[in-house]
Amino acid sequence: MKPHTEHLIPLTHTAQNRCFGCGTANPGGLHLHFLLAPDGTVVCPATISDLFEGPTGFLHGGIIATLIDETMSKAVRASGITAMTRHMEVDYRRPIPSGSSIRLEGRVAHKEGRKHWAEAWILDDAGMRYAQGKGLFIEVHPR
């Protein structure tokens, strides 16, 4: 995927969002800030601290899966839809050093009714993939 560097628009959330991935009201969360590219791709530059390590010096695999899941979810939400993860797969290609600069990118690949298939990547500064994933999200209607 070509890196997106221009014309990114911030995705906004409610003030009391407690989401572990992006919630500003969650003191223990990752506090990710997503941006939207003109082609519908979501982008998030991030640095994840050593508080989220597995092996010393590297991010925990569950945190990597969370980053992939959150990015795919934001890709679906960017079109104004609330959806929940039904199924996802993660391919861990290289260990991600904690505290390093990374870039999350994701997009919706296909839609069919309430079903939304998405994909996401975690990249280093040179554009090499640390991890990638794909998933199925089902649209839900908030109460």
Given the residues 39, 69, 91, 125, select the one marked as catalytic: 69
Cα-Cα-Cα-Cα dihedral of 80, 29, 3, 7, to 10°? 50
Q: What are phi and psi of 68, to 5 degrees?
A: -65, -45
CB atoms within 10 A of CB 107: 20
Coil, strand or helix at 17: coil
Q: Which of these, 53, 52, 54, 11, lies nearest to 29 by C-alpha position?
A: 52
- Catalytic, 69? Answer yes
Residues 103 and 130: their CA atoms lie apart, in Å, by 10
CB atoms within 10 A of CB 56: 7
Residues 26 and 16: their CA atoms lie apart, in Å, by 8
Residues marked as catalytic: 69
